[in-house]
Structure 1
Amino acid sequence: MLTTLLLAAGLLASSPAADTKPDWRTPFEKGEGNTTTTYAECIAYYQRLAAAYPEIEVRETGSTDVGLPLHEVIISADGDAEPSSTRQKNRRVLLIQNGIHPGEPEGIDASMMLARDLVQQKKLRLLLQNVTVVIIPIYNVDGSLNRNATTRANQNGPREYGFRGNARNLDLNRDYIKQDSRNARSFAELFRKWQPEVFVDTHTSNGADYQYTMTLIATQKDKLHPAMSEYMTKRLLPALYGGMEKKKWPLTPYVDFEGRTPDARGIQGFLETPRYSTGYTTLFNTVGFVTETHMLKAYKPRVQATYDFLQVLLSQVNTDAAAIATARAEADRQTAAQRQFTLAWQLDTTQAETFNFRGYQGKTKPSEVSGQPRLYYDRKAPFTKAIPYYNTFRPSVQATAPRAYLVPQAWGEVIERLQRGGLQLQRLTRDTTLTTEVYFIEDYKTGQRPYEGHYVHNQVRVRPEQRSVAYRRGDYVVWLNQPQNRLAVETLEPHATDSYFAWGFFDSILQQKEYFSDYVFEDVAAELLRQKPELRQQLEARRKADPAFAKSAAAQLDWVYRQSPNYEPTHLRYPVARWQGGSLPTE
C-alpha cells in the first residue's frame, strides 16, 4: 500500500501540471528575433502581468479613433497607481510611449520585457524606489491593427508591423497640439493627470547609414526651461551616453543633416515644435527623449538597444529623483511668473560643438534603375571622424505675455484643448465691455497643399490695436500666472509656429461676411470723400505711390469701403484678446 502511494505521489510530482512554470516570454522573445507582438497579444500580456503582480496595474485611459481604448500600464514599488498619492510620496514619474508609428515597434516589445523584469528581478525592482513608471503600450492602436510587411520600404524587419497613419490617416506625431485625433486628446488628459518629469517616445529612424544602432533626440536645450535644461545637459545626457556606451550601444544625436552625407557638413539638432511629442511635453517643463533605432540594423538588436536605454534612463531618474524635483519645481515657479516668451526659433549656424561620428563612407555608383550616379554607403569603409554638431537655436519671434487672454466661448474647440493641457480657465459672470489689446491679421502665407488635415498658415504678421470689445457672460479668461503659461502663449499668440491660428482654428475670421455692390457704393463713397477731405488726400497719395492701384477702379472703391463705417469691424480681427488691466468679473 505504501509503495503504491509513493508511486502515485512520484507520478503526480513529475506530471506536466506539477512541473510547468509560467512562461513569461513575450511574443517577441518566443519568435526568432524578427517578430513583433500584435495589439491583442500586447494588452493580454500586460493584463496577465497585472493579475500576477500587485506592483502592476493596467487600465483604459481614453479612446482612439479606431474605437478601441488607449491603455496605461502603471508600475510602482507598492502598487500605487494614483497620480495624487504618487506625488505625495515624492516619486518622479517616467512616461514611456510606444507605437506612435506602429511600423517602428521596438519600444512596444522592449517595454513588455522591461515591465516583467521590473517585478521579477530583484535588482531591477530597486529602480522603482523613487520612480513610478507609466507605459502607453501602443499609442497608435489604429495603425497597429493595420499590419503589413511592405510599407516600411527602408527597414530591416520585423517581418510584419503596423502602419504609420492612424484610422483617419493622421500622423499622430504631428497631432499633439492640434489634437484632431481621439488618440491625442486621450494623451493630453493622461499627460495632465500624471505630469511626468521625464518622457520618452520610442521610434525607428530613416535617413543615412552609419554604425550606430540607436540615435537620440533630446528636448532641444534652448527650448526647454533653463532649470530643466541645465539638469538634462549637464547630468542626465552624459549619464545616458555613458550608460549606453557601457552596454555596448554607443549613442549619437539624431542624424539630421543638410549635406550629401552626415560628415559632409555635420549634423544639426532637431527643433521639435509643439506638434511633436517632445515639443508638446516641453511646454510643461518635462524632459523629453525620442529614441531612434537605425532602420537597417536587424530587429533583435534594435529591441535590445531600446530595452537597455529605457533601463539606463530609469536608473538615472531613480538616482536623480531629488535633483529632478528641485529643477522641475523651479521651472514651474519661474514659468508661472514668466513674461517674455519665444514663439519661433532659428538655428545659429555660427555655433557648433565637435564630436567623433562613427559612420560609413558615402560613395556613388551607376544606378541600375536610371543609369545615373546614385548614393550608397560602403559598410566596408567605416570611419570615425570629428564632425560639427549644430544645436544652438536663437529666438526669431518673441512676445510679451499679457496678464490674461480673453477667449470668447464661441471658440469651443480651442477652449477644450487649453483645458486638456491643464490650464485653469475662469468665466465672466456678467456681460461687460472691455478695452483690450486685439490683433488684426495683416498678412500670412498658407501652404498650397494640406498637411495633416490642415492648410497651415505661416509668416503671420499682426497689427495690435486697443479696441473696446463686448464680452458675454460665460466667456473665458486665461490668467497667465500658471505653470502651463507656455501652452497658452504658444497656442494663442497667432504668430507662434504651432498656434491655433496657424492650424486654421480661426479661419472664419479671414472671410468677409458683408460687402457692397459697386454701382450703389459709388455714390456713398463719393459722399464720404466730400465729407472727409483728409480721406481724399490719402486716396490721392495711394494713387501716386502705386500706379497699379491708380489704374484700378475696383481697388480704389474697395479702399474707400474699408475706411468707411460700412466695413465690418471684425474682419481679420483675431478673436482672442490680450488683457493688461486688473481684476475681471469672474467666477
Structure 2
Amino acid sequence: MLAFLLSILLAVSAPAAPPAADWRTPFEKGNGNTTTTHAECIAYYQRLDAAYPEITLREAGTTDIGLPLHEVVVSLDGDADPVSVRRKNRRVVFIQNGIHPGEPEGIDAAMMLARDYVQKKELRRQLADVTLVIIPIYNVDGALNRNSTTRANQNGPESYGFRGNARNLDLNRDYIKQDSRNARSFAQLFRRWQPDVYVDTHTSDGADYQYTMTLIATQKDKLHPVLGQYLTSRLLPALYGGMDKRKSPMTPYVDFEGRTPDARGLVGFLETPRYSTGYTTLFNTIGFVTETHMLKAYTPRVRAQYDFLDLLIRAVHQDAPALAQARAEADRQLTTQTHFPLAWALDTTVAEKVMFRGYEGKTKPSEVSGQPRLWYDRKAPYTRQLNYYNTFRPTVSVTRPVAYIIPQAWGEVVERLRLSDVELRRLTRDTTLTTGVYYIADYKTGPRPYEGHYLHNKVELRTEQQPLTFRKGDYVAYLDQPAARYLVETLEPQATDSFFAWGFFDGILQQKEYFSDYVFEDVAAELLKRDPALKQRVDKLRAANPAFATSGAAQLDFMYRQSPNYEKSHLRYPVVRWQGGALPTE
C-alpha cells in the first residue's frame, strides 16, 4: 500500500514531459488557403537549421529590396560546400521558389519537403547520393508587397506577394541582363552549385482544364542532344508516371494557338536565356518549370508541387549514375562542339500526340458587353488526343571561335560574364590584330520598353577584315571552358537574348561625327572625280532608285559613308571573334 501511495505521489510531483515540437508550417497551421509570409518562411528554416545538422540556412547574396537572398542546403552528412559535394559525386537538385510571389505553392511545398526529408526515414534514403539546394523565396521584394487582389485570375490563397520586384522587374526575364541584384546573386549561387537538375515553381495562367499540375521541361532541342535524349527517354516518363500513380496526372504546359487547347493542339514553350530554365540550359543543367493551375483550390496546388518535387528527388536518386554519365558526356562534347545555334523556330510539320483532359470551350453572351465570350463548361469534361508541337529547328547558327576579345570599356558586360563564372584573361600589352569584325547592317527595335530595355531583333550583320588595336587590360574569353555556350549566346549579336539585343552596346549605334552639307558638297564632288568606281555605284543607285536620285541629302550621305571622313567605329560591334593563335594574356 505504501509503495502504491509513493508511486502516485511521485507521478503527481514529477514535472510533465515537454510537449512534442510542432513542426507544422504556417500553411499547415492555416485553413488550407493561406501561405507563409517571408518572415515566417525564413524563421521556419532557421528552426530547421538549429534542430537538424543536415540542414544549413545561409545568406547567398542580396536583393533589390536590401534584404538577403537565402539558400537552404539539405545534405545527410551536413556537407553544404558545393566543391566538396561535387567531389563526393553527389547529384545536386536546385529548387527555386517565389520568383513570382503571387504564385506561392512551391514556397509552402518546399518547407514541408525539407522537413520531411530529414524527419522521415524513407525519404532520408533518397538523399544518400543527392544534395538538395532550395531558394526559399527568390523575389524577396515582391513577397513583402503583399495583397489579395493583383492575381485576378487565381483561386487563392487569401493573400500573397506581387509579381514585380522592388524595381518592378519581372525577375523571370532578368537572367541574362541581370538588372536586379536578385539575378546577380542567383547567377553566382547557381554557378557555385552547378546543379544537375533545376526547378522553378510557378502557377499558370490561361485556359481551364482538368489538371492541377502542368510542366515546362527544358526544350529538348535546345538541350545538348545527350541530355535531351536522357530527359525524354528516362526522366520525363518517370515524372509523368509518378504523378499518375499519385492520382495527380500532369500534362505539358498548356500553351496553344487558337481559341481553346483542342482547336489546334498544344505548343511547346521555347525558353530563351532571359528565362530561368533558358539560362540554366546554357550550362547543361536540365530545367523544369512547374505550373499548377490557377483555378484549382490552393491546397491541391501545394500538394501537387510537393509530389512533383518529391518524385524528382526520387528519380534523381534512382537514376543518379545515368544522369551523371549523360551530363558528363554533354560537358565533354561541348569542348569539341563546332557549331552553335543562336535562334530557333517551331517546326509545325512535326507533332507528337498527347492525351489531354480538358473542358469544352463554349461561347455565350457577355453580361458586360453583350458580345460573345468564351467560357469553359466544367460539366462537359473530355479526354481527347491532341497534337503537341514541340520540335524546334535552329534558324541562325555560328561556328565556334577560339576566343572573344572584349574591350575593357564595356564594363557592364564584363561584370555579367564574371557573375556567370566565365574565365577571363587580360591582355598584357597593347596588341594590334587583323581580324574579321562585325558591323550591324540592320536591326529592328521594339516600340515599347520591355523589362527596362528596348529590345533589338532581326539583327543583320556584315563582316569586314580590319586591323584593330586592343589595349593592355582588355579581356579575352577562350571557348575551352564550361561557359562556352553562355559566351556564344550572349556575345553573338544575332542571338535572341544577346547582350546586343538587350541594348548593352547601344553606344555604337549612334554617329558621333557628321558633316555640313555646303562644305561636304565640294569634297564629294572631288571624290567622284578621283574615284570612277564610286561614281559608277552612285549612277547605278540613281538609276535604280528614283527617291535617291531626287534627294541631294541622300546622295551626300552615301558618299560621306564611302569617304575617309566617315568614322569606322559607327555600327562596328566592339566584341571580336578571334580565330587565331594564342594571345599575350596573363
TM norm structure 2: 0.98
Tell me the equivalent position of 1:302: 301
Tell me the equivalent position of 1:107: 106
Tell me the equivalent position of 1:494: 493
* TM superposition shift of 1:4: 8.6
* Whole-angstrom CA distance in 2 between matches of 1:392 and 1:227: 16
Tell me the equivalent position of 2:288: 289
* Whole-angstrom CA distance in 2 between matches of 1:55 and 1:479: 39
Tell me the equivalent position of 2:20: 21
Tell me the equivalent position of 2:235: 236
Q: Deviations over 1:23-69 (max 9, x none)?
A: 00000000010000000000000010010000000000000000000
Unaligned runs of 5+ in 2: none
* TM superposition shift of 1:227: 1.1
Note the aligned Cα RMSD (angstroms). 1.2
Tell me the equivalent position of 2:11: 10
Matches of residues 365-376 of structure 1 in structure 2 within 5 Å? 365-376=364-375
Tell me the equivalent position of 2:427: 428
* TM superposition shift of 1:483: 2.1
Contact 1:13 1:19 in 2 (8 A): no
* Whole-angstrom CA distance in 1 between matches of 2:302 and 2:335: 40
Q: Deviations over 1:323-367 (max 9, x none)?
A: 111111111111122110100000000000111100000011110
* Whole-angstrom CA distance in 1 between matches of 2:577 and 2:358: 51
* TM superposition shift of 1:117: 0.2
* Whole-angstrom CA distance in 1 between matches of 2:15 and 2:369: 67
* TM superposition shift of 1:77: 0.9
Residue type at the aligned position of 2:213: M
* TM superposition shift of 1:571: 0.2
* TM superposition shift of 1:421: 1.5
* Whole-angstrom CA distance in 2 between matches of 1:72 and 1:13: 43
Tell me the equivalent position of 2:559: 560
1:330 aligns with 2:314: no
Matches of residues 34-183 of structure 1 in structure 2 within 5 Å? 34-183=33-182
Q: Deviations over 1:528-553 (max 9, x none)?
A: 22221221121111111110011111
Tell me the equivalent position of 1:416: 415
* TM superposition shift of 1:111: 0.2
Q: Deviations over 1:460-503 (max 9, x none)?
A: 00001111100000101111112221100001000110000000
Residue type at the aligned position of 1:322: P
Matches of residues 446-485 of structure 1 in structure 2 within 5 Å? 446-485=445-484
* Whole-angstrom CA distance in 1 between matches of 2:81 and 2:322: 23
CA gap of 1:436–1:13, structure 2 versus 1, over 3 A, is farther
* TM superposition shift of 1:420: 1.6
Classify the secondary structure of the residue corresponding to 1:71: strand
| Mean CA deviation greater in 576-585 or 3-12 | 3-12
* TM superposition shift of 1:2: 8.2
* Whole-angstrom CA distance in 2 between matches of 1:331 and 1:584: 28
Matches of residues 500-515 of structure 1 in structure 2 within 5 Å? 500-515=499-514
* TM superposition shift of 1:3: 8.3
Tell me the equivalent position of 2:268: 269
Q: Deviations over 1:236-255 (max 9, x none)?
A: 00000000100011010000
TM norm structure 1: 0.98
Residue type at the aligned position of 1:273: T
Q: Deviations over 1:255-306 (max 9, x none)?
A: 0001110011100100000000000000000000000000000000000010
CA gap of 1:90–1:368, structure 2 versus 1, over 3 A, is same
Contact 1:93 1:198 in 2 (8 A): yes
CA gap of 1:461–1:13, structure 2 versus 1, over 3 A, is farther
Residue type at the aligned position of 2:254: V
Contact 1:363 1:377 in 2 (8 A): yes
Classify the secondary structure of the residue corresponding to 1:216: strand
| Mean CA deviation greater in 474-483 or 379-388 | 474-483
CA gap of 1:514–1:44, structure 2 versus 1, over 3 A, is same
* TM superposition shift of 1:11: 3.5
Classify the secondary structure of the residue corresponding to 1:444: strand
* Whole-angstrom CA distance in 1 between matches of 2:462 and 2:7: 94
* Whole-angstrom CA distance in 2 between matches of 1:418 and 1:9: 70
* TM superposition shift of 1:8: 5.8
* TM superposition shift of 1:408: 0.3
Tell me the equivalent position of 2:516: 517
Residue type at the aligned position of 1:163: F
Q: Deviations over 1:346-401 (max 9, x none)?
A: 00000001111000000111100000110000000000011100000011111112
Tell me the equivalent position of 1:206: 205
Residue type at the aligned position of 2:270: L
CA gap of 1:13–1:158, structure 2 versus 1, over 3 A, is farther
Unaligned runs of 5+ in 1: none
Classify the secondary structure of the residue corresponding to 2:161: coil
* TM superposition shift of 1:10: 2.3
Contact 1:335 1:484 in 2 (8 A): no
* TM superposition shift of 1:9: 4.0
* Whole-angstrom CA distance in 2 between matches of 1:449 and 1:4: 86
* Whole-angstrom CA distance in 2 between matches of 1:351 and 1:293: 27
* Whole-angstrom CA distance in 2 between matches of 1:257 and 1:419: 38
* TM superposition shift of 1:6: 5.0
Classify the secondary structure of the residue corresponding to 2:335: helix
* Whole-angstrom CA distance in 2 between matches of 1:424 and 1:392: 33
* Whole-angstrom CA distance in 1 between matches of 2:83 and 2:220: 29
Q: Deviations over 1:60-101 (max 9, x none)?
A: 000000000000000011000000110111100000000000
Contact 1:217 1:253 in 2 (8 A): yes
Identity of aligned residues (%): 73
Classify the secondary structure of the residue corresponding to 1:290: strand
* TM superposition shift of 1:521: 1.2
Residue type at the aligned position of 1:554: A
Classify the secondary structure of the residue corresponding to 2:363: strand
* Whole-angstrom CA distance in 2 between matches of 1:484 and 1:512: 34
Contact 1:39 1:141 in 2 (8 A): yes
Q: Deviations over 1:161-183 (max 9, x none)?
A: 00000000000000001100000
CA gap of 1:526–1:163, structure 2 versus 1, over 3 A, is same
Tell me the equivalent position of 1:359: 358
* Whole-angstrom CA distance in 2 between matches of 1:557 and 1:19: 91
CA gap of 1:534–1:26, structure 2 versus 1, over 3 A, is same
Which consecutive aligned stretches of 4+ in structure 1 deviate over 2 angstroms post-superposition? 1-15
* Whole-angstrom CA distance in 2 between matches of 1:559 and 1:366: 59
Residue type at the aligned position of 1:11: V
CA gap of 1:296–1:521, structure 2 versus 1, over 3 A, is same
* TM superposition shift of 1:14: 6.3
